[in-house]
Structure formats: structure tokens, C-alpha cells
Amino acid sequence: MAVRGVIEGFYGKPFSHLERIDLLRFLGRQGYNCYVYAPKDDPRHRETWREPYPGDELVRFRELALEAERSGVRFVYAIAPGLTYDAAEPADFEFLGAKVRAVLACGARGIALLFDDLKGDSTTLDPGVQAALVRRTHDLVQEIDPAVTFWFVGNFYCGDAAELQGGEGFWQALYGRSALEYLDAYAQHVPASVPMMWTGPAVFSAMLAERDVTAVRALARRPLILWDNFPVNDVLRDQLFLGPYAGREPGAVRELHGVVLNLMSQAAANRISLATAAEFFVDPERYDPAGALARGIAAVSHSPEAERALATFVAQHRGHPVLAGTDTAHELAGWTAATFAGREPDGAALESLRAHLEELRDNGERLASSLAHTPLLAEIAPWSRRLGQLSHAALAGLDALAGRGSAGDYVALREESRGRDHLVAATRLPQALQPFVSGGGETVDRFADLFAAIDARLDATTGR
């Protein structure tokens, strides 16, 4: 692929300048070649796009551009004027042009024009207006420097070919227009060599098949860059996604102009999944998710102790409610099933379950000692604390079953652990997100399953 990159395109607190510098260095080491600046909550990127960046911000852009160049990474600046752009006001293009010139003068090597997530009163919802603005911005960028790349994304930014061609789906209902109106307008105004960004069959695409890419590319009549909403968690902020890249056919990648992975707000934690995706992009046919995940964990660990503790933690957060073919807390699920499969708890399995829960309970201490004073430890701390609380409660339940503890103490600990916001050993997809997902992974809660099994045995024992 021409583009192997990431996009800071999430809603929520943007990365700090130092986090971006560290990210660029990591991307270079992992073989990525592109970073797209597009934080939704940078007001000058989106809400107040007309406002110029002050001098200190421009200095930081220059530093980012220099670090990107040293790391072999193309720095692409994205701007999203569509919320308030007034096609009848000539000054608006002057504002847009001034912003483009300013960031290119800082050393940016790409510009992306974004029209995703527009509101119903935007003038750029007119297909002709949107396409003409894309063309005009493209021509400006080419005039400034023909070596600068230029991409765009429309407000119909997902869907398979049948949905886009048939005038179906969420966007049709939202905007009252068909995707073909936009694609035809792009074909009329925008050079066919200009790539269009696309998130796949859905906003969150469980799978991406080769046929999906070839069909949509033919419909769009231009190269496609996959804006892949993985491992982003801005709409699932109680969950961490630390598992391997999954659900993309090798043939699909070959048919794309590129992929940019949309990131979580946890800057350091992103690197585990990014390391796995880097291996997939290099050799998708021989990609080994489990091996890539182990190497990704090693890449962010500072010692064998940290690597072992982090591997235990990651296993509780490697699932995803959107991506197909993912699983979480597999070992905990296996020991729970083995222990409670029969009429009476299996003794050997019970001891293995207890040992595993003790390891999970103590994982926070091991992480704290082996990853002390690292950004990664600070980012994962809320989930690490909850893992300890859940494991402590489950061990109290096993003690109650064995007659070594109080059922009341167990129930109190169980209820306290359930009152936390951070999902551990669980993946959950809210009903409100269902229209934005094609397919999906499994919705699970491993500790809830364990608590239910313990509760059933305690009820049978006490006759409740």
C-alpha cells in the first residue's frame, strides 16, 4: 500500500504535543509512513476552522513535521470546514486557503479535506458545492507544492457498493440524498487520481473483504484509503482495545491505496495494537495475530517482568464488540466453564481457576512495579484497579463455596466491583451503535458469567 498510517481522528481530549512526538517515533520504528492530524476536539480543525493557529501552535506543527521527516512518516494535516462553510461567502475559501498555506509552511506534506459527521444545515451537503470545494482545495495544494498529497472524505463515508448504489442505509435517511449524487459530483469535478477516504461497509466494519473494496472503488472511480475505526474507543470509552488487528482480508489490503487506523485516546496503549497491524501490512498472507500480539506487548515493555504482567492484563482486554474473530479473557472463560460444568465443582479445575484469579488480583502490583512512572501505566490504571477488584470478589465467592468465607462478604464485594465504569474481561456494544456496525464480535462479560456460576452454587447450597 502507498499509505500505512494512523489518524488522530477521535472525539475527546486530543493528544499532547509530546505524545504526538513519541507516536511519530514509534510509527517510524514500526514501518508506518503516515500520520494524519484530525482531532475532532481541536476547535481550529473543525468547529472554529476559520481561526488561524497562534504562533506557538505553528511552532509545534513545525516540530511535528521535522520529527515526522526524521522518522520517515508523512505528516498530513486534515481540516473539516463543512459544519459552517458558506459557499455563498467568498471569504470562506480565503480562510480555508490561509489555513492550508500556514500548515504547509510548517512542513506538512499532506492535506485532507473532511466532510464527515455534518449537520443538516451545512451548505456543503449540496453535492456540487462539496465536490467543487474539494477540487478547488486540491488545485490550491497542487499550486503550492505538487509533491504534497491530497485526500478527502465525504459525508457518505461508509457502506458497501449495494447500499451506496441502491440509495439505502443510515446516511440516505439522514441527508435525504443518495450516495450516487456525491460520487457523480466527485467524478465530474475532482481528478480521478485523488483518493477518497472510506470506513468500509459500516462506520465500524467487522470485516473487510476484497470484494467490498473492489466494488466500492469501481463505484467511486478513484483510489480508496480505508479510515479504519480501530482501535478507536471514543464512543466506547469504558473499554480498552489492546488485541491484534483482525477481520481484514489480505486481498482487501492489496486493493486499497492505503489504511489509516483511528486511534484510542490512550496514546501509549495504542501501540500494542499498532504493532500487530504493522506486521499485517508487511505480510498479510502470513500474518499471525497471536505472535504479533506477543511481539507488540514486548515492543512496549521495558523488562521481562513488565512483559509478563502486561501480557496478563492485555488478555483481559483483547476482545472487541465490533471486530469479527476477536475474543477476550479466554483463559478465565475456560476455567469457569471447566469448574462449573458438572453438578459439583470440578476440584482440579477449581484450583486452576483460583490460581488464575490470584494472578489477576495481583496483576496491578506487578504492573505498578515493572511499568513504574510510564505513561502506559497511568493510562491503564483505572482498568487495572477494576481487574483487581473483580478478581478479589470472585476469590471471595470461591471461599464462600468452600466454607472458608462468608457469602455475605462475597455479595458485598461483588456488588462493589460491579459499580465501576471500566469494562474488564468484557466487550459490550450499546444498542445505539448497532446502526453503525456491520457484523461484529461477541458481546461478553467473563466475570459476570463467573459470578452467575458462583451465585447458582451458593443458592443450591444455602437453599435460597
Q: What is the pLDDT of residues 412-460, one digit of tens each?
A: 999 999 887 899 999 998 888 888 888 766 789 999 999 999 999 998 7
All three cell numbers of 51: 481561526
- Tens of pLDDT along 395-413? 999 999 999 999 999 999 9
Can you list the alpha helix ranges (DSSP code H) found in 341-439? 347-361, 363-370, 375-401, 407-418
Cell 490460581 locates to 355
Given this model, what pLDDT does residue 55 score? 97
Average pLDDT over residues 91-105: 98
Given this model, what pLDDT does residue 447 score? 97
Residue 113 has pLDDT above 80, yes or no: yes
**Residue 256 and residue 274: Cα distance in Å, rounded?**
18
- Tens of pLDDT along 31-76? 999 999 999 999 999 999 999 999 999 999 999 999 999 999 999 9
CATH-assigned architecture of domain 330-462: Up-down Bundle (1.20)
Give the 3-state secondary structure of residue 234.
coil
Average pLDDT over residues 222-239: 96
SS3 content of the chain, % helix, strand, coil (to 5): 50, 10, 35
Percent of the chain exceeding pLDDT 70 equals 99
Quick check: 272 and 336 in contact, CB under 8 A? Answer: no
Burial of 214 (0-12, 13-18, 19+ CB in 10 A): middle
**Residue 400 and residue 231: Cα distance in Å, rounded?**
39
Average pLDDT over residues 236-249: 95
Domains 3-300 and 330-462 share a fold: no
Q: What CATH homologous superfamily does 3-300 map to?
A: Glycosidases (3.20.20.80)
Distances (CA, A) of 40 to 51, 133, 429: 15, 20, 22
Q: Say which residue, 434 or 378, is predicted with more confidence.
A: 378
- Tens of pLDDT along 126-173? 999 999 999 999 999 999 999 999 999 999 999 999 999 987 777 788
Reference 226, options 199, 255, 266; nearest CA is: 199
pTM equals: 0.95
Residue 464 has pLDDT above 70, yes or no: no
Given this model, what pLDDT does residue 268 score? 97
Q: Say which residue, 463 or 292, is predicted with more confidence.
A: 292
Q: What is the mean pLDDT of the chain?
A: 95
Given this model, what pLDDT does residue 463 score? 52
Residue 176 has pLDDT above 80, yes or no: yes
* Residue 15 confidence class, pLDDT cut points 50, 70, 90: very high
Secondary structure element (H or E) that encloses residue 163, with its range? helix 161-166
CA dihedral 112, 116, 119, 122 (to 10 degrees): 40
Give the 3-state secondary structure of residue 35.
strand
Could you tell me the residue ranges of all domains in the chain?
A: 3-300, 330-462
* Residue 265 confidence class, pLDDT cut points 50, 70, 90: very high
The residues near 418 (Cβ < 8 Å, ≥ 6 apart) are none
Given this model, what pLDDT does residue 120 score? 80
